[in-house]
Amino acid sequence: VQLQASGGGSVQSGGSLRLSCAASEFTWRYYDLGWFRQAPGKGREGISCISFSGGSTYSSDSAKGRFTISRDDSKNTVYLQMNSLKPTDTSVYYCARADSGHGCYSWGMSKNDFDVWGQGTLVTVSS
């Protein structure tokens, strides 16, 4: 099972990007899904996640108000719309599927709850 992330690129500060992540090898709608990022020399940070039903989402403080996660189960795709990008958002962004279906909670998300990862897509924000 593998996730395919896309949509990264280079953008100026204040710009927008939409990341996509898709997979076809499992029943998408049974799983919580998440987006993480990792900047050079730093640990992997949970950014946003969405429950299997789509009815609950979580966003980190760094993402709140600027990033929106959504899912389209008919396309087996999860999205991360990123607006008002800052140079500090420069990272490799990873999508992931929660182990045993659940990993997205109202209070947060942990990479330890996610077992299947995409290959990452690089986002570079210049000032």
> What is the distance between the terminal CA atoms of the chain, rounded to a whole angstrom?
37
Task: Dump pLDDT digits (tens) for 49-103.
Answer: 999 998 899 999 999 999 999 999 999 999 999 999 999 999 999 999 998 878 9
Residue 34 CA to residue 124 CA, distance in Å, equals: 20
| pLDDT at site 91 | 98
Strands (E) in 51-120, as ranges, are 57-59, 67-72, 77-82, 91-98, 104-105, 108-109, 114-117
Query: For residues 93-108, b (16+ Cβ closer than 10 Å) or e, as one string?
Result: bbbbbbeeeebbeeee
